[in-house]
Amino acid sequence: MTTTSLTRPRAPALLCLALVIALLGLAGASLARQDLATALGALFHASPEDAESLVRHYAWWPRLAMSLLAGGGLALAGVLMQQVLRNPLAAPTTLGVASGANLALMAATLLAPGLLLVGREWVALAGGAGAMALVFALTWRRGLAPVVVVLAGLVVNLYFGALGMVLLLFHQEALKGLLVWGAGSLAQNGWSDAAFLAPRLAIGGVTAWLLLRPLAVLELDDASAKSLGVSLKHLRLAGLGVAVFLTGCVVSVVGVIGFIGLAAPNIVRLAGTRRLGERVLWSTLLGALLLATTDQLLQRVSGSLPTLIPTGATTAALGAPLLLWLIPRLKLERRPDVATSAFGRRHAAPGRLAATLAVAAMAAAVVALLVGQTHMGWTVTDDWAVLEWRLPRLLAAAGSGVLLAVAGTLIQRLTANPMASPEILGISGGSAIALIAAIFLLPAPGNLTLVLAGTGGALATLGVLVWLNRHSGFRPERLLLSGVAITALFDAVRAIVLAGGDPRGQQVIAWLSGSTYYVDLPAALAVAAAALLLMLASQPFTRWLDILPLGAPTARSLGIGLDRARLTLLLLVALLTACATLVVGPLSFVGLLAPHMARLMGFTRARMHLAGAALIGALLMVVADWLGRQLLFPQEIPAGLVASLVGGSYFLWGLRRPL
């Protein structure tokens, strides 16, 4: 591939210079409303007689300082995590710090509001530290292996996020203020937050600098690093500990601003910077400037907007297109992958195990159909009026579980990346953005309109992925980065919608949580038929799926056309994901967990792996939907959230087992 201007060593400096010019221009335009000397003087002291001076001293200047501190801290944490975990998809939110902090604040608000008087930042920091401790406890016996840490972090992140969503569904009014915080808010009313954050980031930065030389050893594989006498477990603990400390400090003060930690290190890497020390320097600077520039831009336009737009969500909305623009232009190196051998041993009789799972799924379906609570209490019913209401939900839950499980299996084998799942590819996010747009922009959209909008969003996302990756042969690491950027854009749209306080946000929350409540019988039959047909359609590709995880050279030597194979599987994943998303929303945990649960049980070959994951996905969703209807009867917990909690518990137990 030809070298572009962005791959020369000066590229990070040029990017930072461009952001500095933009930041100075925006800040200058804001300060121009007042005499420049007076505005600059407000940085150090405020004149009690001048209202503008008070605003500058207690709000504008602290906000600018906070944006620079928070952006630099998150970017530094992202560099450390990507270095330690050897994965460009790692980010400060990977280990669940943000969701742990968010859950702690929600729980304190509802159960112990007195704790908030001690300091909201301390409650959030305790929640983030608790999530970190759980990840370390789960992975310590496995030597803090990168693959295991990433998976444990994802599970803890999604698990705590599901618990937080449950609290939000039932206490939306009480927790409305946290929706803004959860989307990342930089609004300040003094210098106290900056004074709290600055020394802690300085400590973390100095510690990270002292660890640069040891962490550079992680560029080698584990065997080579161990031959140098390096304790990989303690080195990874130190690197991740610093990253989590930085993230926890930032999140505790300004909320969840997750995209900076992903985007800044990847932009610097994509711009041609390879040495760890240089990546730390330029990523930290770029992250600070990216967040500060975005916040200044947002302040300039916020007066003309009808609703509050959080800075964290805006950063993701603006940064995602930038990352998408850079990805197809630049060279991205790939590290050796160990995802396919990270877990599990082959079961001695996988066919018998699959039959057992099939029987369990059928038994669960019978129970879900016949047994449940009514206004008369627990009953076993054969009343068609009741069964007519339960049957569509049963079929939709089972069908969506199969669709997402098969999609997850395909994408994990295609990319050989344990972080891969249908929503990380961006298909769920694209479909969700289109559906949210239809709900908010169209007057009373019907089911057919929503189906067409969701299908169009999924196809548009697929088109973007194909266009961005057409010249790279659909390389997995490039494909996943594209999907992550699209998913970040979806998360930004969701955060902006929920922070706005629109009553339609409740419908969006219910759909995003994976509720089967609104599914009718024709739609349920359609998703069940689609699940069966697409499951059968995946069977001819099992040879590809067995070979692709072995690497591109091996696949080519065995006669597989990589471009054709990757594009075909990608189209199938998109179709599977779109069908499930349109019915019950983006159920993230099923697509991520079902393939891993199948591997933990001993399904290793592709054909049996697909079958095992499909059965587990169906079983998980049927049980989750039934439990969601019964636990808080007559209220309901959406099936997607229950699946997250049930499947996450099993997966955490599986991670805790020794190798």
Cα distance between residue 34 and residue 55, in whole Å: 12
pLDDT, residue 473, reads 62
Q: What is the DSSP letter of 336?
A: -
Residues facing residue 613 across a β-bridge:
none
Residues facing residue 378 across a β-bridge:
373
Would you state the structure tokens that stand for residue 47, as one six-digit string?
Answer: 């004149």
pLDDT tens figures, 180-223? 666 667 877 788 888 989 999 999 999 999 988 888 887 776 66
pLDDT at 2 over 50: no
Q: How far is CA 426 from CA 283, 376, 422, 431, 586, in A?
A: 25, 44, 7, 9, 10
Cα–chain center distance at 99: 11
Q: What angle do CA 401, 405, 410 make, to 5 degrees?
A: 155
Q: Which residue has the tokens 């630099």?
A: 72
pLDDT at 339 over 50: no
Cα distance between residue 95 and residue 142, in whole Å: 16
Give the chain's domains with CATH numbers: 37-317 (1.10.3470.10), 341-656 (1.10.3470.10)
How many Cβ atoms sit within 10 Å of the Cβ of residue 517? 15
Cα distance between residue 586 and residue 515, in whole Å: 10
Transcribe 572-632 into DSSP letters.
HHHHHHHHHHHHH---HHHHHHHHHHHHHHT--SHHHHHHHHHHHHHHHHHHHHHHHHHTT
Q: Position 591: which residue type?
A: G
Cα–chain center distance at 326: 20
pLDDT at 342 over 50: no
Q: Residue 373: in which H helix or E strand, if any? A: strand 371-374
More confident residue, 590 or 535: 535
Cα distance between residue 619 and residue 332, in whole Å: 39
Closest of 94, 67, 72 to residue 83, by C-alpha? 94
Cα distance between residue 243 and residue 203, in whole Å: 12
Asked whether the bond before 634 is cis by omega within 30 degrees of 0, the reply is: yes
Residues facing residue 373 across a β-bridge:
378
Cα–chain center distance at 232: 27
pTM over 0.75: no
Phi, psi of 503 (to 5 degrees): -60, -30
**Rg (the chain; Cα; Å):** 25
pLDDT at 530 over 70: yes
Q: Are the CB atoms for 273 and 65 separated by under 8 Å?
A: no
Mean pLDDT rounded to a whole number for the chain? 79
Q: What angle do CA 653, 336, 152 make, to 5 degrees?
A: 20
What mean pLDDT do residues 381-400 have? 86
Would you state the structure tokens that stand for residue 131, as one six-digit string?
Answer: 């999530």
More confident residue, 546 or 339: 546
The tally of CA atoms less than 13 A away on the side-chain side of residue 87 is: 26
pLDDT, residue 206, reads 94
**501 Rama sector, left if φ>0, alpha if ψ -120 to 50, beta otherwise:** left
Phi, psi of 379 (to 5 degrees): -145, 155
The tally of CA atoms less than 13 A away on the side-chain side of residue 520 is: 3
Cα distance between residue 121 and residue 144, in whole Å: 28
pLDDT tens figures, 52-75? 778 788 888 898 999 999 999 999
Q: Position 312: which residue type?
A: G
Cα distance between residue 403 and residue 620, in whole Å: 12
pLDDT, residue 129, reads 82
**520 Rama sector, left if φ>0, alpha if ψ -120 to 50, beta otherwise:** beta
Cα distance between residue 89 and residue 70, in whole Å: 20
User: What confidence category does residue 509 fall into, taking pLDDT thresholds of 50, 70 and 90?
Assistant: low
Instruction: Let me know if 3 is exposed, middle or buried by CB neighbors in 10 A (0-12, 13-18, 19+).
Output: exposed
Q: Are the CB atoms for 412 and 339 separated by under 8 Å?
A: yes
User: What confidence category does residue 88 fall into, taking pLDDT thresholds of 50, 70 and 90?
Assistant: confident
What mean pLDDT do residues 391-396 have? 91
User: What confidence category does residue 364 fall into, taking pLDDT thresholds of 50, 70 and 90?
Assistant: very high
pLDDT at 15 over 50: yes
Cα–chain center distance at 515: 20
Cα distance between residue 619 and residue 615, in whole Å: 6
Q: What is the DSSP letter of 540?
A: G
Question: 1: which residues sit within 8 A by CB, 6+ positions away?
Answer: 331
Instruction: Let me know if 444 is exposed, middle or buried by CB neighbors in 10 A (0-12, 13-18, 19+).
Output: exposed
Q: Are the CB atoms for 295 and 82 separated by under 8 Å?
A: no
Q: How far is CA 535 from CA 280, 420, 612, 614, 615, in A?
A: 45, 19, 12, 8, 11
Cα distance between residue 100 and residue 168, in whole Å: 15
pLDDT, residue 5, reads 42
Would you state the structure tokens that stand for residue 132, as one six-digit string?
Answer: 């970190």
Question: 240: which residues sit within 8 A by CB, 6+ positions away?
Answer: 80, 81, 84, 85, 95, 132, 136, 144, 149
User: What confidence category does residue 568 fall into, taking pLDDT thresholds of 50, 70 and 90?
Assistant: confident
Q: Are the CB atoms for 580 and 407 separated by under 8 Å?
A: yes
Instruction: Give the three-state DSSP class for 374.
Output: strand
pLDDT, residue 32, reads 72
Question: 657: which residues sit within 8 A by CB, 6+ positions away?
Answer: none
How many Cβ atoms sit within 10 Å of the Cβ of residue 187? 16
Q: Which residue has the tokens 């930290």?
A: 284
b/e code 555-590 from CB counts within 10 Å (16+ = b) = beeeebeeeebbbbbbebbbbbbbbbbbbbbbbbbb
What mean pLDDT do residues 159-175 have? 77
Q: Are the CB atoms for 175 and 109 separated by under 8 Å?
A: yes
Q: Are the CB atoms for 587 and 514 separated by under 8 Å?
A: yes
Instruction: Let me know if 539 is exposed, middle or buried by CB neighbors in 10 A (0-12, 13-18, 19+).
Output: exposed
pLDDT tens figures, 582-640? 777 665 578 888 888 888 888 888 899 999 999 999 998 999 899 988 887 777 888 87
Q: Residue 14: in which H helix or E strand, if any? A: helix 11-31
Torsion of Cα atoms, 11 then 13 then 16 then 18, to 10°: -70
Cα distance between residue 86 and residue 416, in whole Å: 14
